[in-house]
Amino acid sequence: MAAIRTILFVMFDQLRHDYLGCAGHPHLKTPHIDALAARGVRFARAYVQSPICGPSRMCFYTGRYVHSHGASWNGVPLRAGEPTLGDHLRAAGMGCWLIGKTHMRADAEGMARLGLAPDSVIGARVAECGFDVWERDDGMRPEGPDGCYDDRGAASYNDWLRGRGYASANPWHDFANAGRDAAGAMLSGWFMQNAQEPAAIAEKDSETPYITRRATDFLDQAGDRPVCVHVSYIKPHWPYIAPPPWHAMYGPEHVVAPLRHPRERQDPHPLHAAFMDGRVGRAFQDDALRARVIPAYMGLVSQCDAAVGRLVAHLQASGRAESTLIVVTSDHGDYLGDHWLGEKDLFHDPSVRIPLIVVDPRPEADATRGTVCEALVESLDLAATFVEVAGGEALPHVLEGRSLVPFLHGRAPERWRDCVFSEYDLALTPHAARLGLDPMRARLFMAFDGRWKFVHVEGMRPMLHDLATDPGEYVDLGASPEHGTVCERMAARLAEWALRPAQRITLSAGRAAAMRGASLRRGVTLGLKDGSELPAELTALYRGRPRPAPGGIDGGGGAP
């Protein structure tokens, strides 16, 4: 099989699964991403392991569930020592580089406990969830009275903007994500009223083209070493304001109606109610605001599409195209008013389902080009896919996803999963306390088997949607007595998942097999009366003088 020498792993932030031309959006123009879908496979039922940036990304970058790696919300450090995609790829001889966002927070305590210096090669990788960093840009530099949300956010981009003449302590905030009124005063991109304004920045100086150039700069110097390049954009994530001309590309006439139903407001699950009644939910229930915000969001999506076009053109111009696996995906969606919500705190499809397009240039993938795969796919399948593509050994005891290569090559994998799982750590939001939930145990878990989407809410009744009869997810059956058995069955699926041996990461299947029963032939002879039960070669050891002990540590202890 021809070798893949480059993996171009493109991630957008908060890009909905259905806001692409190839996914059927009636007005949105995404010709470059659509072209990739025509050359590859579009996975139409791909789900993230958490509908919020940080934990979702840690699943992409470790190939493990949130429940396994523990970085359950934004700002929760990924524990030092958690194996990463970068570790696995480097072991297979492929580099793993970052250009853009990860939302990683380093585990400073754990690194200190292990003596890992942040400026050492290993320490830097542990601090950056396994990546070597060409540019880290989390793309978020808001300011408030308590300071910046992230002083490292957009730091290099801000320096570059100042060098380009955008005079401000924080041009990300004042120019890239703000407009201007007639008097020249700032119109913040944080305010939805301003979403239709052009950002006060030249298109080529905005963040998406900047990251694209940083990626092509990287590729220009990368030579032909095998490498996975994670190009990770902040957009179309809010602030919802686009640079010209993208700000004017779409208007209210291009805004699709919200996926919502009045019955969702009638006796809703208290958790759904809490988010519907929150500031963001209420704002996205205002159709006048949606009509201003969504065109800006769509403009940002089309700008992202143009970035993909530039990256693909660069691969072709540099001769990499035939040896590059291309992935385009997102870390989660955006309700945009669907289900009376904004943001992405729950598990309806607009939030937890993602776009996922994979282009495998090898001839083995010719038969599937332009096809749509309906299998239930999880974001953590990408890590296993990349390790296989890089030629590494399968690591089912560490990587909880499965390689998608069989789908790309038209081979149905054996016993593919029939349920996907996702989580949300409500404990780290003010809602837990407001809803009277144990603030340290308020976890949400989704189990979706392709028909039933079950959401376990610790301390409350579950939510349940039947996507066969209610594809819009408008009817919550979680309180329906007739669906008690379905809830029990799905709760059992979740329990089976929760009991998986996710932490037995030091034991490969091969080593486990070698351990079974090995101790008898290493002298652990339990339950024998007088040794006559044993073959002579063994009993001899217990008669007269034994032979000297051979060297070498044994293959894995048996007896307690």
In angstroms, give the least distance from the CB of 22 to a second copy. 25
Binding mask 78-117 for a second copy (x = CB under 8 A): xxxxxx---x---------------x-x-x-xx--xxxx-
Give the Å distances, CA to CA, from 410 to 372, 407, 419: 11, 5, 21
C-beta of 122 vs 313, nearer to a second copy: 122
The full DSSP string for 82-145 is ---HHHHHHHTT-EEEEEE-------HHHHHHTT--TTSHHHHHHHTTT-EEEEE------EET
Burial of 506 (0-12, 13-18, 19+ CB in 10 A): exposed
Pick one of 221, 469, 485, 503: the residue that binds a second copy (CB under 8 A): 503
Residue 501 binds a second copy (CB under 8 A): yes
State the DSSP code for 432: H
Separation CA 376–CA 371 (nearest Å): 15
Examine residue 498 and tell whether it contacts a second copy (CB under 8 A): yes
Closest approach of a second copy to the CB of residue 186, in Å: 6
Residue from 342, 361, 392, 478 binding a second copy (CB under 8 A)? 342
Shortest spacing between CB 132 and a second copy, in angstroms: 15
The interface region with a second copy, picked from 138-146, 256-264, 308-316, 375-383 by CB under 8 A, is 138-146
Please say whether the beta carbons of 320 and 5 come within 8 A. Answer: yes
Task: Work out how close the CB of 471 gets to a second copy at its nearest, in angstroms, rounded to a whole number.
Answer: 26
Binding to a second copy (CB under 8 A) within 475-494 occurs at 491-492, 494
Taking phi over 0 as left and psi of -120 to 50 as alpha, with beta for the rest, 410 belongs to left
Residues 318-337, interacting with a second copy (CB under 8 A): 332
d(CA 237, CA 502): 32
Judged by CB under 8 A, the chain residues 417 through 446 that form the site for a second copy are 425, 427-430, 432-433, 439-441, 443, 445
The token pair at 80 is 């030092």
Instruction: Tell which one of 456, 457, 478, 486 touches a second copy (CB under 8 A).
Output: 456
- 38 vs 491, beta carbon nearer a second copy: 491
Taking residues 294 to 313 in sequence order and writing x for each that binds a second copy by CB under 8 A, - otherwise, the string is: --------------------
Collapsing DSSP states into helix, strand and coil, what is residue 531?
Answer: coil
Instruction: Give the CA radius of gyration of the chain.
Output: 26
Ranges within 260-289 binding a second copy (CB under 8 A): 278-284, 286, 289
Burial string for 373-391 (b: 16+ CB within 10 Å, else e) reads bebbbbbbbbbbbbbbbbe
Q: Which of residues 510-549 bind a second copy (CB under 8 A)?
A: 512-513, 515-531, 533, 537-538, 541-549
* Shortest distance (Å) from residue 197 CB to a second copy: 12
Within 178-197, the residues that bind a second copy by CB under 8 A are 178, 185-186, 188, 190-194
Minimal distance in Å, beta carbon 279 to a second copy? 4
Which residues from 354-393 bind a second copy, rule CB under 8 A? Answer: none
Contact of 333 with 351, CB cutoff 8 Å:
yes
User: Considering the complex, what minimum distance in angstroms separates the CB of residue 406 from a second copy?
Assistant: 20
If one asks whether residue 75 binds a second copy (CB under 8 A), the answer comes out as yes
Q: How far apart are CA 55 and CA 345, in angstroms?
A: 12
Helix (H) or strand (E) holding 446: strand 443-448
| Among positions 6, 72, 324, 403, the unique one binding a second copy when judged by CB under 8 A | 72
Distant-in-sequence, close-in-space partners of 112: CB < 8 Å, separation ≥ 6 = none
Q: Rounded distance, CA 492 to CA 178, Å?
A: 49
Enumerate residues 14-53 that contact a second copy by CB under 8 A.
14, 52-53
Residues written for the chain? 560
